[in-house]
């Protein structure tokens, strides 16, 4: 202790990592600046024997206990034991959970660590979206070997919208445009065939899509980009590459992005395609 400051020991007990209880304790402690608050965390407490050890230590150290135990049996046990031994104890989540249960007319799941899992899912989604942006349109072929799935096809086969849709499902997706004048990156041919998905489309529909795209850009619809002969050449080249890779192919003609994405998700589920080499 320094100066005239007094100290208080607080045990934070949780069946997860204890972040919630620790945050509450530190927020409260900040209002008592004359005191030194020493916080000790006991995470992943899942049995009564561990609680007994904490109770004995708290009694000896004159510590206060702040806990977040969502498993009802453990919650009741630590409350009972703290009262039995005269140890101040605060259940951080209990009143909130009880009020929610009364309002929603449904009991809580009683599963520890759900908030952390939600946080992890959120950051995985952000990571996947950043990945899709970075490796869109064949910008950096080094990302192909790190992707969960690689989409290939000619321009305007929905590669980018599909990449972003799948990224929101926490999948790392890269895509590569297939153009007759440009040799595909060698990394593409290092992928297992099932990790790559070819996208094809009806020539007439692609012609309509490209024509509208040219109009939106203020260009003439007669440009080579929307020429049917050019489209046929590109699709033939794309089919050749897809056959060379031996990868599955999806005809996106008349399909919404969501429909195609669901087909891809089912492929990934069946083949367990999540890439472990991140």
Please give the annotated binding residues for ADP, written as ranges: 153-160
Closest C-alpha to 251, from 201, 195, 203: 201
Q: Are strands 64-68 and 89-91 parallel, antiparallel or unpaired?
A: parallel
Q: If you write DSSP's letter for every residue of the chain in order, what string do you get?
A: --TT-EEEEEEEEESS--HHHHHHHHHHHTT-TTEEEEEEEE----SHHHHHHHHHHHHHHT-EEEEE--SHHHHHHHHHHHHHTT--EEESSHHHHHHHHHHHTS-----TTHHHHHHHHHHHHHHHHHHHHHTGGGS-GGGGGG-SEEEEESTTSSHHHHHHHHHTTT--EEEEE-BTTBPPPGGGGGS-GGGEEEEE--HHHHHHHHHHHHHHTT--TTSGGG-HHHHHHHHHHHHHHHHHHT--EEE-TT--HHHHHHHHHHHHHHHT---S--
Can you say which residues are annotated as belonging to the binding site? 153-160
């Amino acid at each position: 202790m320094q100066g005239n400051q007094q100290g208080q020991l607080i045990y934070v007990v949780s069946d997860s990592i204890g972040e919630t209880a620790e945050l509450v304790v530190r927020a409260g402690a900040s209002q008592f600046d004359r005191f030194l608050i020493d916080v000790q965390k006991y995470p992943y407490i899942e049995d009564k024997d561990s609680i007994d050890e904490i109770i004995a230590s708290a009694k000896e150290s004159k510590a206060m206990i702040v806990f977040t135990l969502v498993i009802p049996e453990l919650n009741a046990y630590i409350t009972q034991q703290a009262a039995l031994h005269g140890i101040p104890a605060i259940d951080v989540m209990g009143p909130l959970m009880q009020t929610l249960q009364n309002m929603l007319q449904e009991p809580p799941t009683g599963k520890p660590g759900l908030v952390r899992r939600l946080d992890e899912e959120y950051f995985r989604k952000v990571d996947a979206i950043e990945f899709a942006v970075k490796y869109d349109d064949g910008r950096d072929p080094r990302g192909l070997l790190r992707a969960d799935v690689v989409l290939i096809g000619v321009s305007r086969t929905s590669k980018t919208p599909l990449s972003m849709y799948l990224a929101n499902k926490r999948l790392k997706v890269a895509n590569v445009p297939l153009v007759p004048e440009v040799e595909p990156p060698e990394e593409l041919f290092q992928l297992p065939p099932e990790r790559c998905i070819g996208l094809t489309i009806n020539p007439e529909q692609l012609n309509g899509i490209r024509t509208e795209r040219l109009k939106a850009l203020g260009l003439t619809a007669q440009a080579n980009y929307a020429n049917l002969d050019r489209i046929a050449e590109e699709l033939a080249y794309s089919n050749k590459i897809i056959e060379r890779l031996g990868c599955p192919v999806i005809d996106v003609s008349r399909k919404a992005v969501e429909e195609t994405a669901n087909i891809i998700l089912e492929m990934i589920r069946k083949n367990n395609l999540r890439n472990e080499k991140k």
